[in-house]
Amino acid sequence: MAPNNNQSVPPVPILSENRHSGIPANLADKANAAKARVWKNKTFSGITQRQGELPVLPPGIERQKFNAAIDELKQLLGPEHVVINDKPLEDGWYLEHPNTHDAFHLFDPNDTVSSAAVYPGSTEDVVTIVKWANRYEIPLWPISMGRNLGYGGAAPRVRGSIVVDLGKRMNRVLNIDPEQCSCLVEPGVSYYKLYEEVKKSGYPLMIDPPDLGGGSVLGNAIDRGVGYTPMGDHFANHCGLEVVTPTGEVIRTGMGALPGQNGADNPTWQAFQYGYGPYVDGIFSQSNFGIVTKMGMWLMPETESLTFMATFPRDEDFEDIIEIIRGLMVRRIMGNVPQLRHVIQELAVTGKNRKEFYDGQGQMPRDVIRKHASKMTCGDCGWVFYGCLYGTPRAIQESLEVVKSEFSKIPGVRFLFPKDVPEDHYLHSRARVCAGIPEIRELEWLNWKNNGSHLFFSPICPTKREDARRVIDIAIRVHREYGFDLFPTFCIAPREMHLIVNIVYDRSSQDEKRRAIAAIRKMIDECAEAGYGEYRTHILLADQVMHTYSWNGKSLLRFHEQIKDALDPKGILAPGRNGIWPRKYRGQGWELLGKGRETSTPEKSKL
Ligand code: EUG
């Protein structure tokens, strides 16, 4: 297909213009510029034509039955709220992401596609949809915002599932409580939107955004995503859920189960996480056990912060850096989620194509990275640390002294503060994220390749020198073998680290897609053998990851399956999500456990 570099780039949707998934007006210029850079690196249309009869049907559902079911759903919800997926598949971009398939496909884009999208406007609508799905045994795939890029986007694991797009019509911030420092949100509230609503409220509160602000606050928390302030563990800082179960009951967790006076919400729903009895919130995170329609989230009282960057000269400083960081973090001298990145990411986050640095095939050689880094703000170094200190100006200065003296044990360390770096340096964007202001900068890595797409490899390891070395060595070796540049980011907590490896590939290339998936499969296996597992993964790798959590003959997976079968006897809710399959799918080849086939669907299934 012809490149469309000369075409003008359509402007991004704006949040205030009634687009829940849009960009705030004040970030629109940045977003349009970022999009233009991506368009410059586009060498194919990003639109995939469809094959065969449409829409793609869910397994075991005949077309006549499907059409009758859809007619009924249209009657139940209003025809305008049910949309059949029968158009060409447009990959779009971050702000115009599709809810029809995975924009960053690893297989054929036609593989993990939905049959339709349905847009509920209320919890009652969600109940209606769930009961309808049980009647017809049609699988549902709920999404909040449907971003989750690098992990499958909005795509359903089972072809032909109906995407329940919660965010489009359920996107209100229902409450902000300035005394309890909390809020109550619906699935369609992005970090961009929550930030704007908090600002509008005038209350002195801060939110905790992840690297990109377009994701759903609710969706990110229940997928156990991470941000960078002291409240960076999003699931740990949620408080209270409203959930529609797979058979259409509505429950509220924690204190929400105790009715407030005269029918009001319970006044401690967003204040005390546990309520009474078993703490069930956990089973609605990274699962297919319920559809979360409301979530409470704690907010941080506004505070001063100082974001800084420290560069360490040698790649081999790595283990010593990790030890020092742990010491600072377990003592809570650093109380947020700092990042440690390899210097190559300073090149990538400029938004330039790798060709501008290096025009050879395979990995960019270390001396080429060095040559370019030497001319940049970071200078010739191995690792770059982005941290942030919080509190009163005095407390910040005191902590900074300790951080400086600890890091100075590594010869050649350099500290840089926002005032020291050019206006377009990434440190400023980091400082905003750490101060609770959602950003869009992190997307720049995608320009590394033409038609840049990414896949996250996200293992957890202890914040300790030997473990960190073992995990990074696996990533180094496998990336070398498969010819990908290695982009490691450690998101660090006191006791463990999330290593996020961003595999950037050209999605117009079958070969790159195959190598990306082969590389991640190998890293998952090798890490598991060494005792390290992923905290989150792409929908097509969920089975492999879930099966690495195999202690005592995979007894935990069997426990999940028991819960699944009890809660969802018809197996309608997000089959295969997080590697959990309903009974009727099990043992028929749905599980994607290793290399081999390049489709999500088994050849023979009795469904
Ligand atoms: C990032 C962090 C994540 C994740 C995906 C991306 C950040 C990349 C800590 O979790 O899951 C710079």
| 406 and 372 inside one domain | yes
| 321 and 376 inside one domain | yes
Q: Would the CA dihedral through 116, 122, 127, 128 be positive or negative?
A: negative
pLDDT surpassing 80 at residue 198:
yes
| 593 and 534 inside one domain | no
In the reported structure, the alpha carbon of residue 504 is separated from the centroid of ligand 1 by a whole-number distance in angstroms of: 14
Cα–Cα distance, 567 to 245 (Å, whole number): 7
Using most ligand atoms within 8 A of CB, pick from 336, 491, 503 the residue to mutate for ligand 1.
Answer: 491
Counting the structural domains of the chain, the total is 4
DSSP for 244-257, please give it: E-TTS-EEE-GGGG
Task: Decide whether any atom of ligand 1 lies within 6 Å of the 500 Cβ.
Answer: yes
| 490 and 602 inside one domain | no
| 113 and 53 inside one domain | yes
594 or 412, greater pLDDT: 412
pLDDT in tens, 44-100: 999 999 989 999 999 999 999 999 999 999 999 999 999 999 999 999 999 999 999
Active-site annotation, residues: 151, 535-536
Least confident residue range of 5-14, 283-292, 492-501: 5-14
| 157 and 79 inside one domain | yes
CATH code of 576's domain = 1.10.45.10
| 159 and 45 inside one domain | yes
Using most ligand atoms within 8 A of CB, pick from 336, 386, 458, 499 the residue to mutate for ligand 1.
Answer: 458
With CA atoms as reference, report the closest residue to 186 among 256, 228, 242: 242
| 295 and 404 inside one domain | no
Residue 5 included in any domain: no
Residue 8 included in any domain: no
pLDDT surpassing 80 at residue 5:
no
Cα–Cα distance, 292 to 234 (Å, whole number): 15
For ligand 1, atom 6, the nearest C-alpha belongs to 500
With CA atoms as reference, report the closest residue to 518 among 449, 437, 597: 597
Where does the pLDDT of residue 425 fall: very low under 50, low under 70, confident under 90, or very high at 90 and above? very high
CATH code of 342's domain = 3.40.462.10
| 47 and 177 inside one domain | no
Task: Decide whether any atom of ligand 1 lies within 6 Å of the 534 Cβ.
Answer: no
| 282 and 314 inside one domain | no
pLDDT of residue 2: 43
- Averaged over 139-144, what is the pLDDT? 98
In the reported structure, the alpha carbon of residue 234 is separated from the centroid of ligand 1 by a whole-number distance in angstroms of: 13
Q: What is the largest CA-CA distance in the chain?
A: 72
pTM: 0.97
In the reported structure, the alpha carbon of residue 79 is separated from the centroid of ligand 1 by a whole-number distance in angstroms of: 38
Residue 1 included in any domain: no
Task: Domain of residue 63: give its range.
Answer: 15-165
Task: Decide whether any atom of ligand 1 lies within 6 Å of the 536 Cβ.
Answer: yes
- Cα separation of the two ends of the chain: 37
Residue 138 included in any domain: yes
| 203 and 266 inside one domain | yes
CB 528 within 8 A of CB 455: no
- Averaged over 487-514, what is the pLDDT? 97
Residue 426 included in any domain: yes
Least confident residue range of 4-8, 130-134, 319-323: 4-8
CATH code of 267's domain = 3.30.465.10
With CA atoms as reference, report the closest residue to 426 among 211, 220, 229, 233: 211
CB 452 within 8 A of CB 300: no
In the reported structure, the alpha carbon of residue 363 is separated from the centroid of ligand 1 by a whole-number distance in angstroms of: 22
Q: What percent of the chain has pLDDT over 70?
A: 99
Q: Which of 278, 301, 324 is the last residue of a domain?
A: 301
CB 581 within 8 A of CB 539: no
pLDDT in tens, 516-546: 999 999 999 999 999 999 999 999 999 999 9
In the reported structure, the alpha carbon of residue 489 is separated from the centroid of ligand 1 by a whole-number distance in angstroms of: 8
Task: Decide whether any atom of ligand 1 lies within 6 Å of the 442 Cβ.
Answer: yes
| 354 and 466 inside one domain | yes
pLDDT of residue 606: 83
Residue 7 included in any domain: no
Using most ligand atoms within 8 A of CB, pick from 349, 442, 453, 500 the residue to mutate for ligand 1.
Answer: 500
- Averaged over 174-189, what is the pLDDT? 98
pLDDT surpassing 50 at residue 1:
no
For ligand 1, atom 10, the nearest C-alpha belongs to 226
pLDDT of residue 7: 61
Q: Which of 282, 301, 320 is the last residue of a domain?
A: 301
CATH code of 126's domain = 3.30.43.10
Average pLDDT, the chain: 96
Token pair belonging to 328: 């600072």
Residue 9 included in any domain: no
Residue 2 included in any domain: no
Task: Decide whether any atom of ligand 1 lies within 6 Å of the 491 Cβ.
Answer: yes
Q: Which of 301, 336, 360 is the last residue of a domain?
A: 301
